[in-house]
Amino acid sequence: MKSAGTWAGARTAVSKELIDWADVIFAMEEHHKDALIRIDRNADAKIIVLGVDDHYLKGDPELTRVLKGKLSGYLGEIFSRAAKEKKSRTG
């Protein structure tokens, strides 16, 4: 898992290479998705918009709580799918 921002001043800015690396990309808001697609128009199929307003400061406990709630279902589904794919490849 990696984290990157769409803002030009982000500590780690999103790049085409990061988009190519990712299997799934979680964006907080639609405008983040739009920024990702401007970098790589093929990214659309990888992006899930969480619908979380981007008004929190980094490390805000409330943001952590909201993201855990939003991501838990998606991550469970992703891990379950990966396990099924692994099992089908190995036997």
Tens of each residue's pLDDT in the chain, 91 residues: 788 888 777 888 899 999 999 989 999 999 999 999 999 999 999 999 999 998 988 889 999 999 999 998 888 887 787 788 788 887 6
Give residue 47's Cα distance to chain centre: 7
Q: How far apart are CA 68 and CA 14, in angstroms?
A: 22
What is the pLDDT at residue 78? Answer: 79
* 23, part of any domain: yes
The reported pTM is 0.77
Length of the chain: 91
Which tokens sit at 45? 């199929």
* 10, part of any domain: no
Range of the domain at 84: 16-90
Place of tokens 């964006």: 27
* 40, part of any domain: yes
Q: Are the C-beta atoms of residues 34 and 10 closer than 8 Å to each other?
A: no
* 8, part of any domain: no
Tally the domains of the chain.
1
* 5, part of any domain: no
What is the pLDDT at residue 67? Answer: 92
